[in-house]
Amino acid sequence: MQSQLSTVILASLALACSTVGQTKYASSPAGSEYQPGNTNNTYPFYGASSTYQQIHDAVDMAALNGRQPMVLNGMEFRPAATFNIPARSWNAQITLGVTTQTAATMSTTYASNFTSTPTIVLPYTNLSGAAGKGVGSTVPNAWLWRFPFTTIFPYVAAQGNLCWEWRHNNATATVTPLDAMSSSYAGSPTVTSNFGTGCTATGRSSPASASLTIAGGNITAALKDGASSAAAFLAIGLVRSNTSIGWCAPLYTAPAILVGGSTDAAGAWTAGTAPTSVLTAPSYAEIYTQYAFADAGLSSGIGLSDLAGVGTAANGGLYCARLYTINTSGNGGETATTGTKTSQYGLVTGFTTL
């Protein structure tokens, strides 16, 4: 079983570069939706006034949302570790643009980092940021600050890298250790969670559930509470979905690969075990598992589990860079034309999508 599952996972990762799936929530660096950053960044919110840009390479953005084009309609940020974030307000403007500049080639001149006409997605507006506190560094903190756009921004990774810019003045507070990632991020594969609800098989009191567990350097795929001694399939996909087909549960992933097997008398099936070393990819990828099993007691004759997912290690700061100008004592930083660059480092940035 170990060899078979290893082959299946590797084949799934090979498909990641060409698979198109259903849009979901986007958080860059890729993988940061489920994994906390390894550092914190006080810029651009540290200054009484500031200008700040961050470039996210297309290879990172493409790893989000099943490599489907996104329509961005807001940005979000979250605390780092257990830091306290004081409330404050700003007069701020947010601009987004597609650029041929990469994180590695980012210019220290702000205008040069927009190689196509950018979009002011939020003109100068009085914004408020709530007080908050991070709860730890073992899981991602909840998003604290949410900034909806007044103009949506369609983004297609194939068209180029993404640059976003923040300019503000009149800040009322400056202490801001927000979650960030650097190139020294050394994460590991992470089980994302279970999604949805499976069918309750004949003779069971709990819905069928899929699991992906990591222990001792191995990852194990298993089904629990399926039908007894039944033919079963493991569906492996690279994107999440929620497709109703009239059965007792939706399809929660578009199957890329199917693996056949059968359950035991308790309705369980360990589909396979593989070393976590197979969970490697050129950039971040997610793998999802859902099970189907024969069950004559169900209206469709087939039962489905919920969805289990696992993500490879997050990209960290490998594909982002920041440029900043900070004025700690008054206004003027928001009109800067040049700044200081830091490569392979950036704020964990949430993008809300339509």
pLDDT in tens, 248-280: 999 998 888 999 999 999 999 999 999 999 888
With respect to residue 60, please indicate whether it lies within any of the assigned structural domains: yes
- Enclosing domain of residue 150: 31-185+317-353
The tens digit of pLDDT for each residue in 11-27 reads: 444 444 333 333 346 89
In this prediction, residue 242 carries a pLDDT of: 84
Question: Which domain CATH number covers 227?
Answer: 2.60.40
pTM over 0.75: yes
Say whether both 215 and 270 belong to one domain. yes
Say whether both 307 and 321 belong to one domain. no
d(CA 313, CA 307): 20
- What tokens does 331 get? 């206004």
In this prediction, residue 4 carries a pLDDT of: 59
| pLDDT value at 216 more than 70 | yes
Count how many domains the chain has: 2
Q: Percent of the chain beyond pLDDT 70?
A: 92
In this prediction, residue 193 carries a pLDDT of: 78
Say whether both 151 and 197 belong to one domain. no
| pLDDT value at 10 more than 70 | no
Say whether both 200 and 277 belong to one domain. yes
In this prediction, residue 238 carries a pLDDT of: 84
pLDDT, average across residues 106-132 = 97
Say whether both 277 and 149 belong to one domain. no
In this prediction, residue 175 carries a pLDDT of: 84
pLDDT, average across residues 127-138 = 95
**DSSP β-bridge partners for residue 75:** 147, 351
Say whether both 244 and 324 belong to one domain. no
The mean of the pLDDT values for the chain is: 91
Q: Which helix (H) or strand (E) holds 100?
A: none
Q: Percent of the chain beyond pLDDT 90?
A: 77
Q: What is the dihedral of CA 26, 285, 344, 151, to 10 degrees?
A: -20
What is the DSSP pairing of strand 345-347 with strand 178-182?
A: antiparallel
Q: Pick the more confident residue, 316 or 64.
A: 316
With respect to residue 171, please indicate whether it lies within any of the assigned structural domains: yes
pLDDT-derived band at 2 (thresholds 50, 70, 90) equals: low
- What tokens does 288 get? 């999802």
Q: Pick the more confident residue, 208 or 192.
A: 208
pLDDT, average across residues 57-81 = 89
Say whether both 168 and 202 belong to one domain. no
Q: What is the dihedral of CA 167, 169, 173, 174, to 10 degrees?
A: 50
pLDDT, average across residues 101-111 = 98
In this prediction, residue 3 carries a pLDDT of: 55
Say whether both 261 and 298 belong to one domain. yes
The tens digit of pLDDT for each residue in 90-104 reads: 999 999 999 999 999
The tens digit of pLDDT for each residue in 280-303 reads: 887 898 899 999 999 999 999 999
| pLDDT value at 240 more than 90 | no
With respect to residue 68, please indicate whether it lies within any of the assigned structural domains: yes
CB atoms within 10 A of CB 116: 12
Cβ-contact 55, 106 below 8 angstroms: yes
How many residues are listed for the chain in this entry? Answer: 354
Say whether both 260 and 284 belong to one domain. yes
Say whether both 225 and 298 belong to one domain. yes
CB atoms within 10 A of CB 318: 22
